[in-house]
Structure 1
Amino acid sequence: MFERDELAAWLRLLETPQVGRESARKLLAAFGSPEAVLGASVAARREVVGPGPAGALGVAVPGIDALVDATQAWVAADATGSRRVITLGDPLYPPALLQTADPPLLLYAQGRAELLGAPCLAIVGSRNPTAQGRDNAREFAATLSRAGLTIVSGLALGVDGAAHEGALEGPASTIAVVATGLDRVYPRRHLGLAHRIASEGLMLSEHALGTPPLQAHFPLRNRIIAGLSQGTLVVEAALQSGSLITARLAAEAGREVFAIPGSIHSPQARGCHALIKQGAKLVDAAQDILEELRLDRPAANSSASEPPAPADPLLDALGYDPVTLDALVARTGWSAEALNTRLLELELDGRVARLPGQLFQRIATG
């Protein structure tokens, strides 16, 4: 952990109004350290970043001493020693982020910091996925984590949460990059998941303690998700979504972009289809990603040798696109009453999902 003066200098540099990431980076390149930046004359700083940021650093920042105290207390309060403040020059700073255009200057971490140097894959997607999309995220993440890829995502509802849960099933685990301070959890529904990740994986943020979930911070988080990872997998996404921003940032950083195709009738598949048209690699199995990234095949699943389940005529009639009850009546010749009974059985068995608008969708089970 930093000495108090060093930590105070870092926080003063990063939390001063009018001093953005670009200006802070230029000042560090010119003067070498936050202490040297603050110790330089306004005139010297002005030559590097102009009068606004140069002068702002000469003005006291309200609450900075309290923030320094809170940060030191936050680190010290963890008996396991898993809480850290990591700067650009720290050996723990993730090498993959250093190769991006806008690496965060300081990171707050809680959990297994060694994951920052592990091979990573980002999995992102809709906050309102279909049941199949949620299962795909979980299953891909679990398989890839078992194969040695740490799964990076943003702790959001939907695909992000499912990816984190799946990744925790494997030894490579998961990194959750969040848009708040690490003393807050957003969304609150993921409080238990966040605590589990802090224990078994890694929670990561560039934002100071106490930072609330501000809208502008979520796109910033996405650049870290993409930057940490060798590639980004988009599971489901609408055409206008943060997941496509993450995919674009990954492509701009020279990383691979993967997308799972879906129904041509599903709005949640349109973002993935757009990515595929733009050159993203279509994947329908985790092995596609492992081969593209030149990683070893995961250990065979013991269930692979089990005989296949007998065919179900209703599942065959469902296909994999969402379908109405009337359409199933036409396809099967069954009565609506008989269909509802069997659909409920399949829903309870986790093989069919009931969607809004009285639609039903088959769930792939492997």
Structure 2
Amino acid sequence: MRKTQKLSPTELRDWLHLCRTENVGAVTFRQLLRLYQTPAKAIAAIPAMAARGGKRNLKLPDIKIIENELRSIKDRGGRIIASCEPDYPDALAAIEDAPPVISVIGDIAHSTKRCVGIVGARNASLNGRKLTETLARDLCAEGITIVSGLARGIDTAAHNASLETGTIAVLAGGVDKVYPEENRALYDKIAAKGCVISDQPLGLDPFSKLFPRRNRIISGLSLGVVVVEAATQSGSLITARMALEQGREVFAVPGSPLDPRCRGTNDLIRQGAILTEAADDVLRNIHKPRLQGVFSISEPKNDFEVPIDLLNNELQLIEIKDIIIENLSPAAVLVDELVRQCDLSLPLALTALLELELAGRVERQAGNRVALIG
């Protein structure tokens, strides 16, 4: 989404109102804006669209809750930045599913430097933590901003080593929710000298489904992501996959094949990640964005152009929604493939998908994919 101008207080309130509406994800948010031009018009249309998708009791967030969130973040010395505003990080704005808004405590200017993400095991070894600290310090000395997730282990080591030059912590819950609590002192230092970012409402405790969303922001802010010690089921591997999907470079520190914490990173190297032992391995490659990789996806299409009068074509839309539900499963498929296999009109199919998502029956995902919910 192109960044244009700073929003007025009313415009930012409407932007946040649409973003916090049930079943409105990042992809759907942009589709609604393309369709209705302004958040206020989109918000007015959502209840009827959700009803056509099968949900007749969708309630919009109370505007007082939205206004309170804006006041509360300001009281904490932070701010909310919309993805259309100049201060929104350029690298993050470039990804397909960029959060429509981010909450920020600290100086967002740290995101204007070259950023590198460092992630890895929570139960990191002493050697893993020491290497992370050295890597982070050496990268900072070259003007790099370190991005991580404030978790135990590798994240903590990366943040501690880069405090003096300013580090970015991305949280899974609200920007005010420190997790783990043992990192509160570190959180306070980052907020004072660096930047804390979240796309979630203020006061929201983190839970499992939010961590992949946090990971996509870490990789989205970064030119590349370094993985230090990750088991085969590690969330750090999700960050690596997202980085590749976003066209970012992936680096992995090799480890002993006898250490379960290193099996994921060793697998990444076998699959094409750059073997990393020192900062120079990163610095030599972050200027070379990689658009394809082992986790690569088809180039997404962002041309959601649906004439308003199509929304009145009820009979066709009802039939198309039934076809879509019948053909989808919880495993995501490309929208283009769904349209082609079912021989659907693209504009009508996109409108039907939008109504179904607002009703909470399907989920739009990055990479122009869609999946059935439940």
Larger-gyration structure (1/2): 1
- Closer, same or farther in 2 for the Cα pair 1:24/1:131, shift >3 Å? same
Query: What does residue 170 of structure 2 align with?
Result: 177
Offset at residue 138 of structure 1 (A): 1.2
Distance in 1 (alpha carbons) for counterparts of 2:146 and 2:214: 15
CA contact (8 A) 1:125 1:237 kept: yes
CA contact (8 A) 2:254 2:266 kept: yes
Distance in 1 (alpha carbons) for counterparts of 2:47 and 2:84: 25
- Closer, same or farther in 2 for the Cα pair 1:185/1:32, shift >3 Å? same
Q: Is 1:229 aligned with 2:234?
A: no
- Closer, same or farther in 2 for the Cα pair 1:7/1:101, shift >3 Å? closer
CA contact (8 A) 1:18 1:53 kept: no
Q: How many aligned residue pairs are there?
A: 283
CA contact (8 A) 1:121 1:230 kept: yes
Distance in 1 (alpha carbons) for counterparts of 2:64 and 2:192: 29
Identity of aligned residues (%): 42
Where does 1:325-344 land on structure 2 (aligned, <5 Å)? none
Residues 31-80 of structure 1 show CA distances to partners (whole Å, capped at 9, x for unaligned) of 2221232245866xx3xx883499667x4435x413422431331442xx
Unaligned runs of 5+ in 1: 296-366
Offset at residue 137 of structure 1 (A): 1.1
Q: TM-score, normalised by structure 1?
A: 0.72
CA contact (8 A) 1:258 1:282 kept: yes
- Closer, same or farther in 2 for the Cα pair 1:56/1:94, shift >3 Å? farther
Distance in 1 (alpha carbons) for counterparts of 2:57 and 2:159: 40
Offset at residue 251 of structure 1 (A): 1.1
Where does 1:108-147 land on structure 2 (aligned, <5 Å)? 108-147=103-142
Distance in 1 (alpha carbons) for counterparts of 2:21 and 2:103: 18
2:280 equivalent among 274, 284, 287: 287
Query: What does residue 241 of structure 1 align with?
Result: 234
Where does 1:90-101 land on structure 2 (aligned, <5 Å)? 90-101=85-96
Q: TM-score, normalised by structure 2?
A: 0.71
Q: Is 1:13 aligned with 2:18?
A: yes
Query: What does residue 331 of structure 1 align with?
Result: none
Query: What does residue 153 of structure 1 align with?
Result: 148
Offset at residue 95 of structure 1 (A): 1.2
CA contact (8 A) 2:227 2:265 kept: yes
Offset at residue 101 of structure 1 (A): 2.0
Query: What does residue 73 of structure 1 align with?
Result: 72
Offset at residue 98 of structure 1 (A): 2.1
Distance in 1 (alpha carbons) for counterparts of 2:47 and 2:73: 33
Offset at residue 16 of structure 1 (A): 2.1
Offset at residue 108 of structure 1 (A): 0.4
Residue type matched to 1:129 in 2? Answer: A
Query: What does residue 61 of structure 2 align with?
Result: 61
Residues 336-357 of structure 1 show CA distances to partners (whole Å, capped at 9, x for unaligned) of xxxxxxxxxxxxxxxxxxxxxx
Unaligned runs of 5+ in 2: 1-5, 289-374
- Closer, same or farther in 2 for the Cα pair 1:227/1:70, shift >3 Å? closer
- What SS does structure 2 have at the residue aligned with 1:109? strand
Q: CA RMSD for the aligned pairs?
A: 2.3
CA contact (8 A) 2:16 2:101 kept: no
CA contact (8 A) 2:230 2:262 kept: yes
Distance in 1 (alpha carbons) for counterparts of 2:60 and 2:79: 26
CA contact (8 A) 1:141 1:163 kept: yes
CA contact (8 A) 1:180 1:213 kept: yes
Distance in 2 (alpha carbons) for counterparts of 1:42 and 1:216: 25
Of stretches 131-140 and 67-76 in structure 1, the one that deviates more from structure 2 is 67-76
Distance in 2 (alpha carbons) for counterparts of 1:2 and 1:254: 29
- Closer, same or farther in 2 for the Cα pair 1:158/1:97, shift >3 Å? same
Offset at residue 11 of structure 1 (A): 3.1
Q: Is 1:277 aligned with 2:270?
A: yes
Query: What does residue 312 of structure 1 align with?
Result: none
Query: What does residue 51 of structure 1 align with?
Result: 52
Distance in 1 (alpha carbons) for counterparts of 2:148 and 2:277: 20
